[in-house]
């Protein structure tokens, strides 16, 4: 029985390790996305980012008429905020821009694009790239500055990937402990509530019994 439990636990750890590794690898290969935004409307992108994490974003309006400058109506207002009330970037009436900041708290961060109203309505195509964590590191700059060879560069990438994986596992373990503490607190409160409800029920039953006994005694039925 003990051997089977050890094997099951090992399989769970292996599955968790592969899952976290997949998440880290996918987060490294960040590609820019394109979306359409009609004038007079807004669109937001959300990403949950850990505390003390570098995040970088770049955006620009795609010029659909190559060889000609963008029309004056092709402008957007961009704001980056967090669900906890933080403001990290704001640009008004721009065709392109970027932002870089270090997260001060673990939260869901929102990047919102708003295209001012225009008559007739115009549909803008926006290209947006948002990276955080290890994906923000410019490996070409590292290789150039350090004069390292390809193998050393790959080792640096693997080391940073393992470090990111370790940090993610520590973060998940901390979140698991928070959930366990919340479950224990909730169970304790439910137990107290159950005892309180039981006490109230017993008290009400006792009062009813006393009332009926008094009533029957007055009527000389008992």
CB within 8 A of 32, min separation 6: which ones? 58, 127, 128, 129
Report the DSSP pairing between strands 123-132 and 33-38. Answer: antiparallel
CB within 8 A of 73, min separation 6: which ones? 39, 116, 118, 122
Q: What is the pLDDT of residue 83?
A: 87
- Rounded Cα distance between 193 and 42, Å, is 47
Q: What is the pLDDT of residue 161?
A: 76
Q: What is the pTM of this model?
A: 0.54
Q: pLDDT truncated to tens, each residue of the chain (222 aa)?
A: 444 444 444 455 545 554 554 444 444 445 578 999 998 899 999 988 888 888 889 999 988 777 777 777 789 999 999 988 889 999 998 999 999 888 888 889 999 999 998 888 888 999 999 988 766 666 555 445 444 566 566 667 777 777 777 788 888 888 888 888 888 889 888 989 988 999 899 988 888 888 888 877 777 766
- Is the peptide bond preceding residue 120 cis, with omega within 30 degrees of 0? yes
């Amino acid at each position: 029985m003990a051997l089977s439990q050890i094997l099951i636990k090992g399989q769970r750890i292996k599955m968790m390790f592969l899952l976290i590794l997949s998440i880290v690898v996918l987060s490294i290969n960040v590609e820019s996305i394109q979306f359409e935004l009609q004038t007079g409307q807004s669109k937001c992108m959300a990403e949950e980012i850990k505390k003390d994490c570098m995040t970088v974003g770049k955006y620009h309006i795609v010029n659909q008429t190559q060889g000609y400058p963008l029309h004056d109506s092709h402008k957007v207002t961009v704001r980056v905020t967090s669900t906890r009330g933080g403001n990290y970037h704001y640009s008004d009436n721009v065709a392109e821009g970027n932002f870089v900041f270090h997260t001060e708290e673990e939260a869901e961060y929102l990047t919102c694009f708003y295209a001012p109203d225009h008559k007739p309505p115009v549909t803008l195509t926006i290209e947006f790239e948002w990276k955080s964590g290890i994906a923000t590191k410019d490996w070409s700059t590292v290789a150039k500055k350090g004069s390292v060879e390809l193998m050393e560069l790959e080792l640096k990438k693997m080391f940073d990937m393992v470090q990111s994986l370790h940090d993610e596992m520590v973060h998940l373990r901390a979140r698991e402990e928070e959930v366990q503490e919340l479950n224990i607190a909730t169970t304790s409160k439910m137990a107290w509530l159950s005892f309180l409800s039981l006490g109230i029920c017993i008290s009400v039953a006792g009062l009813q019994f006393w009332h009926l006994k008094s009533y029957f005694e007055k009527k000389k039925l008992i």
